[in-house]
């Protein structure tokens, strides 16, 4: 859509900047893990809004269903029973794309325009440009994108970019019965989170805090955690996520370095040829052979 291109901040595999005159407010989805009851209404809403239905799996001995994100399950609840000092907590985290300000998926993607970061912070996959290589999975610090077995394209949470574009909240936020998922500007969400953290601290969770990891430039999906000092309790939420240095190298410095090196070898060969001339077999040896043949 013509109007949409004005809201793009970054495109994957594109060396030139996107149009950037319009200024949009950055949005954020705030997930308050302390208020979540693990009812999976968000999973149901996501399936209904996006018309995606995953396979009916099986019970693997936990409440997680499906057990992992897939190309057709863009959000899953991850359950963790944590018992410490005689106190049992059932920590339930809604897993899905964090919509990083510095997206690892976008950095790694080789297909121009397959991954787009909008000016409002949403990172969206444009599957029509996706080549299905899976580099996005390699680049993501949170292990989110999944390649579909059916069409070999990458899929993940879109933060309901289509709903947000017309001023609505994402489907999951709309459906959440406890108000654990809030949506608004990043500033509003940070303020709301501060209130929630204050409330948690007053109830004895003195390590409560907001999870907005700066290692990826901050994220547009944030968590209020009871134990912000130990994100690993929440089923593998990384403590200090950042784009892997291997990915930064591979998609950063290596590119111009290798291109220049290959061009240098090619040009070097050309210049060697014109400067040194070809390496011919010497005339004496040719004459020697002719004499031998004549004998």
Partner 1 sequence: MIKWLGDKWGGNDVPDMRPDAAPDEGVMPFIMTPEGVARLFAPALAEGPFPEHYEPFETPLDKNPFHPNNPKATSNPAARVYKGDMEAFGKAKDFPYVATTYRLVEHFHYWTKHSKINAVLQPEQFVEISEDLAKEKGIAAGDRVKVKSNRGFIKAVAVVTKRIKALDVDGKKVHTVGIPIHFGFKGVTKPGFITNTLTPFVGDANCQTPEFKAFLVNIEKI
Partner 2 sequence: MIRNPKDLTRYNAQERANHWLVGICFILLALSGLAFFHPAFFPLTQLFGGGVWARILHPFLGVVMAAAFLVMFFRFKSLNVMTAADKEWLSRAGEMIDGNDHNMPEQGKYNGGQKAMFWAMSLCMLLLFVSGVFLWRAYFNLPVDVVRLGAVVHSAVAAFMIGVTFVHIYAALWVRGTVRAMVYGTVTRAWAKQHHRAWYRQVTGKS
Which one of residues 17, 19, 57, 252 is an interface residue with partner 1 (CB under 8 A)? Answer: 57
Alpha-carbon separation of residue 34 from 49, 68, 131, 178, 190 (angstroms): 26, 22, 39, 10, 16
Two structure tokens written together for 111: 């297909």
Q: Which does 215 bind (CB under 5 to 8 A by kind): partner 2, partner 1, none?
A: none
Residues 254-293 that bind partner 2 (CB under 8 A): 254-255, 258-259, 261-262, 265-266, 269, 272-273, 276-282, 285-286, 288-289, 293
By residue count, the chain amounts to 295
Residues in the interface with partner 1 (CB under 8 A) total 26
**Nearest distance from residue 257's CB to partner 1, in Å?**
47
Does 235 help bind partner 1 (rule: CB under 8 A)?
no
Give the integer Cα–Cα distance in Å for 76 and 173: 14
x/- site string to partner 2, residues 125 to 164, per CB under 8 A? ----x-xxxxx-xx----x---x----x------------
Rg (CA), the chain: 27
**Nearest distance from residue 52's CB to partner 2, in Å?**
21
Q: Which does 58 bind (CB under 5 to 8 A by kind): partner 1, partner 2, none?
A: partner 1
Does 246 help bind partner 2 (rule: CB under 8 A)?
yes
Secondary structure in 3-state letters for 253-278? CHHHHHHHHHHHHHHHHHHHHHHHCC
**43 or 161: CB nearest partner 1:** 43
* 194: alpha, beta or left? (left if phi > 0; alpha if psi -120 to 50): alpha
The answer to whether 147 touches 134, Cβ cutoff 8 Å, is yes
Which residues of this chain interact with partner 1, rule CB under 8 A?
37-40, 43-44, 47-48, 53-63, 65-66, 73, 81, 83, 88, 90
């Amino acid at each position: 859509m013509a109007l949409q291109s004005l809201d793009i901040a970054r495109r994957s595999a594109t060396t030139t900047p996107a149009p950037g005159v319009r200024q949009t407010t950055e949005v954020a989805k705030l997930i308050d893990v302390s208020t979540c009851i693990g009812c999976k209404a968000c999973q149901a809403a996501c399936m209904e809004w996006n018309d995606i239905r995953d396979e009916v799996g099986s019970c693997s001995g936990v409440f997680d269903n499906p057990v992992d994100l897939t190309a057709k399950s863009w959000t899953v609840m991850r359950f963790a029973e944590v018992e410490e000092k005689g106190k049992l907590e059932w920590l339930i985290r809604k897993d899905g794309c964090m919509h990083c300000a510095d997206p690892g998926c976008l950095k790694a993607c080789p297909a121009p325009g397959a991954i787009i970061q909008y000016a409002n912070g949403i990172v969206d996959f444009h599957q029509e440009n996706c080549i299905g290589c899976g580099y996005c999975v390699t680049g993501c610090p949170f292990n989110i994108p999944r390649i579909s077995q059916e069409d070999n394209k990458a899929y993940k949470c879109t933060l309901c970019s289509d709903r947000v574009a017309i001023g609505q909240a994402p489907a999951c936020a709309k459906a959440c019965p406890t108000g654990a998922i809030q949506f608004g500007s990043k500033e509003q969400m940070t303020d709301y989170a501060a209130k929630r953290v204050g409330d948690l601290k007053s109830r004895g969770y003195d390590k409560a805090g907001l999870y907005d990891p700066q290692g990826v430039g901050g994220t547009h999906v944030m968590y209020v955690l009871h134990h912000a000092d130990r994100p690993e309790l929440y089923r593998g939420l990384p403590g200090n996520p950042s784009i892997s240095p291997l990915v930064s190298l591979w998609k950063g410095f290596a590119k111009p370095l290798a291109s220049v090196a290959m061009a240098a070898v090619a040009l070097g060969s050309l210049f060697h040829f014109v400067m040194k001339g070809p390496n011919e077999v010497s005339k004496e040896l040719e004459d020697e052979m002719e004499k031998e043949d004549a004998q």
